Amino acid sequence: MRQHGNGLVRLFAVCIAALWLSACSSAPQEKPSALSSKQEILEEQVSEEMFGIPMQNLQARAFQVEQGQSFSEILASHKVPGNVSGALIEASDSIFDLRKLRAGKPYTLLCKKGSDGLPVCLVYEASLTEAVVFDWRQEKAPTVYKEARAIVYAQKEAAGVIESSLYQTVVDQGLDPNICYKLDGMFKWSVDFFALQKGDRFRVIYEAMYADTLDLGVHKILAATFTHRGKERMAIRFEQGEKVGFYDAEGQSMKSRFLKAPLEYSRISSRYNLNRYHPILKRRKAHLGTDYAAPTGTPIVSVADGVVVAAGYGRGNGNYVKVKHDNTYTTQYLHMSKFGQGIKRGMRVSQGQVIGYVGSTGLATGPHLCYRFWKNGKQVDPFKEQPQVTEPLADSLRPAFEKIRDRLVPQLESIGYHEHLRQAALNALKKSTASFKADA
């Protein structure tokens, strides 16, 4: 009965998603992306050549190495003549150790177009960026060589409206999850990623990286907006030689003196609260810190430059580190499982440096970090402190920055959310339909 009920729920979800998609398709369509032509060029480049081999008279077929399968067995399974197989094995001796073939690794057969479809090349993908090519197009003189994949970059766009989490919003659209972490890297001084809300949204222009036909994911984000609690922030990537920075449209650095959080993108469990019920002491007790629930061993970083004034153990605090940043500000990090390498009293630390790892030492119900923030000797809520901007853009660099800004900002502002929401619904519809069919 329960399975039947679940099936009806999924059927209902499929119907709703289908109706939503139908409404989307009848709504006014957004203008095509200006980047579509670049993506078509990429596909054209890939179809003309693979692994450095012209594909005009060839077609590709993808396979995987089976468990326990040897190179000669792979060739035999594709009816490659024994004399060719022997010559390829001999030719590979100084190029690639055939004992390093791994089960599950992909390989591609390049076959002649036509009714016979005879294979003439085998390409074993040794790594994401390198392949080993076994070429017997000249049957009397087979060759083996390594081929670096041709790396191609394509500029792409994405947008999303958060329903449950940033990660889920990205994944639902079939996007690379690394977008989440790169957004965190751009906005970690101004957006509290541990308190995102339903309705928060983002738009990004990014470079995707491809090695032949293989999608290697996001290379870098060129520009993005992130709207949190109704306030939109914009960040534009600007490179100065080997130095990379992010700036708003006015050229102000996104980097501020303090990070918004001492952990990378994870989950917040308890906020600064003057009337919190303590789960261990079983009484109301002011919680003058912010708790971050995270797995044991998650790195903890200093939110700003400073000097370690304490690193030890306390009955309530467990393993903790206290960092003095100047005569005004001090921060403290509690319940660590262990300290960062070399962390001790008197050591100077920099913003983002690992000072310890999440644990549950002291009075703690589970692995988490309690983060405390002092101003003029009094514990305060760090989220109410105004950011102190650092690293202003030099006047000499403004013309170069403004040229990039003037190209990216109009493009960024033209990205709508409608089509990206439609893609997420389409992906959900496909999953629901597949699940419903499986239960039928």
Q: DSSP string spanning 320-336?
A: EEEEE-SSSEEEEEEEE
Write the burial class of residue 315 (CB in 10 Å: 0-12 exposed, 13-18 middle, 19+ buried).
exposed
Could you give the count of Cα atoms lying within 13 Å of 394 in the half-sphere of its Cβ?
5
Give residue for tokens 């009806």. Answer: 8
In this structure, what CATH number is given to the domain that contains residue 111?
Answer: 3.10.450.350
Q: Structural domain tally of the chain? A: 2
Q: How confident is the model at residue 281 (pLDDT cuts 50, 70, 90)?
A: very low
What is the domain extent for residue 98?
Answer: 52-148
CATH code, domain with 369:
2.70.70.10
Residues 410-420: tens digit of each pLDDT: 999 999 876 65
- What pLDDT digit, counting tens, does each position of 180-210 carry? 889 988 998 888 787 788 999 999 999 998 8
pLDDT at 422: 59
38 in a structural domain: no
The whole-number pLDDT of residue 233 equals 94
pLDDT at 349 over 90: yes
Residue 396 lies in a domain: no
pLDDT, averaged across the chain: 80
| Burial class for 222, CB neighbours closer than 10 Å (0-12, 13-18, 19+) | buried
Determine whether 114 is exposed, middle or buried from the number of CB atoms within 10 Å of its CB (0-12, 13-18, 19+).
exposed
DSSP assignments along 33-96, one per residue:
PTTHHHHHHHHHHHHHEETTEE-TTEEEEEEEPPTT--HHHHHHHTT--HHHHHHHHHHTTTT-
Predicted pLDDT at 49? 75
Of 95, 123, 148, the last residue of a domain is: 148
Residue 260 lies in a domain: no
Q: What are 79's two structure tokens? A: 């009816």
Q: Is residue 213 part of a domain?
A: no
End position of a domain, from candidates 365, 384, 403: 384
Structural domain includes residue 18: no
Residue 252 is given by DSSP the state -
Residue 181 within a domain:
no
Whether 376 and 178 have beta carbons less than 8 Å apart is answered as: no
Q: Which residue has the tokens 């500000």?
A: 329
Let me know if residue 391 belongs to a domain.
no
Q: Which of 148, 181, 207 is the last residue of a domain?
A: 148
pLDDT band at 171 (very low <50, low <70, confident <90, very high): confident
Distance of CA 389 to CAs 47, 240, 392, Å? 48, 19, 8
The answer as to whether 225 is a domain residue is no
